[in-house]
């Protein structure tokens, strides 16, 4: 078991201000007090009074996210300002977009079979009732000076467990527009885990690190468990659906969204492929 050490708030303030030689965060100062508090035991979310709990089913929607055209040229990211990041063996490349004095980093992963990775696919319309939030957390890890996973789904009121696996300072700066934002520091891999939740559906919530400006993650917050993220082969699968007709949406951080209507019979698997084109 890891040894949890108490860190002076004054010392943490100095650490956040210094960062990794990259200056203090541009947004509101990251806080660490939440990290010192043990997470309360999680219970299943209760449906509002008078709302029937929805039943899951035996149907599924599966498919692939295809990519047409020439993949964009990505730029290698210089992570040398932090020795911990510099020594990481895996290169990291992205589209680097200048926004005045700031830079934004957009990650496009075109697979070898001309499909897209890291596309969030979810049921947008067609479900009835409410779905209790799982007590098992979704884990967002900071390892190799990047977020893992880069794109993920989570239910409303499901715990998000935030971990720092690097021996260097990170801060998790969540930038929702509907939910409550937060900006919390984890000084090293000896820091305790932090747990957060989102109270409302929101697709998508962006995560930044002000210490390492290239770090990005996106979380799709939905009120049900029917979502998926395309993988190294571009495939996705949404399982456990009741029979019905649904509007399914696919989201990508550069190419936007695509939707289609899908009808699936009881116990059957429907196919829904999405295609994004180069811009």
Predicted confidence (pLDDT) per residue in 34-73, tens digit: 444 443 433 444 444 444 677 689 999 999 999 999 999 9
The candidate with the shortest Cα–Cα distance to 54, out of 123, 142, 141, is 123
Place of tokens 């964009």: 72
Please report the pLDDT score of residue 33 as a whole number: 41
Residue 5 has pLDDT above 50, yes or no: no
The candidate with the shortest Cα–Cα distance to 62, out of 238, 231, 232, is 238
Integer CA distances (angstroms), 46 to 42, 78, 129, 196, 224, in order: 12, 47, 12, 18, 13
Please report the pLDDT score of residue 71 as a whole number: 95
Please report the pLDDT score of residue 88 as a whole number: 73
Answer positive or negative: Cα dihedral of 17, 21, 25, 30: negative
Please report the pLDDT score of residue 23 as a whole number: 40
- Which residue has better confidence, 204 or 192? 204
Please report the pLDDT score of residue 189 as a whole number: 85
The candidate with the shortest Cα–Cα distance to 33, out of 182, 210, 155, 166, is 182
Q: What is the pLDDT of residues 9-30, one digit of tens each?
A: 443 443 333 344 344 444 544 5
* Separation of first and last alpha carbons in the chain: 49
Distance between CA atoms of residues 79 and 182, nearest Å? 25
Residue 7 has pLDDT above 70, yes or no: no
Encoded tokens for 200: 């409302």
Q: What is the pLDDT of residues 81-138, one digit of tens each?
A: 898 998 776 778 999 998 777 889 999 999 999 999 999 999 999 999 999 999 999 9
Distance between CA atoms of residues 193 and 162, nearest Å? 6
Q: What is the pLDDT of residues 205-258, one digit of tens each?
A: 999 999 999 999 999 999 999 999 999 999 999 999 999 999 999 999 999 999
Q: What is the pLDDT of residues 141-196, one digit of tens each?
A: 999 999 999 999 999 999 999 999 999 999 999 999 999 999 999 998 888 899 99
Please report the pLDDT score of residue 266 as a whole number: 95
Residue 1 has pLDDT above 50, yes or no: no
Distance between CA atoms of residues 235 and 63, nearest Å? 6
Give the domains, in start order, of the chain with CATH numbers. 1-30+73-107+132-223 (2.60.40.420), 55-69+114-128+230-279 (2.60.40.1120)
33 backbone dihedrals φ, ψ, rounded to 5°? -65, -30
Please report the pLDDT score of residue 14 as a whole number: 37
Contacts of 14 (CB under 8 A, 6+ apart): none
Q: Which pTM does this prediction carry?
A: 0.82
Please report the pLDDT score of residue 30 as a whole number: 55
């Amino acid at each position: 078991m890891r040894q949890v050490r108490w860190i002076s708030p004054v010392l943490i303030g100095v650490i956040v201000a210094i960062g990794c030689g990259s200056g203090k965060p541009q947004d509101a100062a990251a806080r660490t007090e939440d990290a010192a508090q043990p997470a309360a035991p999680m219970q299943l979310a209760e449906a509002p009074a008078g709302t029937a709990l929805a039943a899951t089913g035996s149907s599924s929607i599966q498919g692939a996210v295809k990519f047409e055209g020439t993949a964009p040229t990505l730029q290698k990211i210089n992570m040398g300002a932090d020795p911990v990041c510099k020594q990481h063996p895996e290169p990291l490349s992205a589209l680097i977009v200048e926004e005045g004095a700031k830079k934004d980093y957009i990650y496009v992963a075109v697979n070898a079979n001309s499909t897209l990775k890291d596309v969030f696919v979810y049921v947008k319309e067609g479900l009835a009732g409410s779905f209790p939030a799982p007590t098992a957390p979704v884990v967002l890890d900071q390892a190799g000076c990047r977020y893992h996973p880069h794109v993920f789904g989570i239910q409303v009121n499901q715990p998000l467990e935030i971990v720092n696996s690097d021996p260097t300072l990170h801060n998790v700066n969540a930038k929702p527009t509907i939910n409550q934002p937060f900006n919390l520091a984890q000084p090293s891999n000896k820091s305790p885990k932090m747990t957060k939740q989102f109270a409302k559906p929101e697709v998508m919530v962006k995560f930044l690190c002000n210490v390492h400006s290239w770090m990005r993650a996106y979380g799709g917050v939905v009120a049900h468990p029917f979502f998926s993220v395309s993988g190294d082969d571009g495939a996705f699968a949404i399982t456990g659906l009741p029979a019905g007709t649904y509007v399914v949406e696919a989201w990508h951080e550069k190419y936007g969204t695509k939707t289609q209507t899908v009808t699936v019979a009881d116990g059957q698997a429907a196919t829904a492929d999405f295609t994004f084109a180069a811009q």
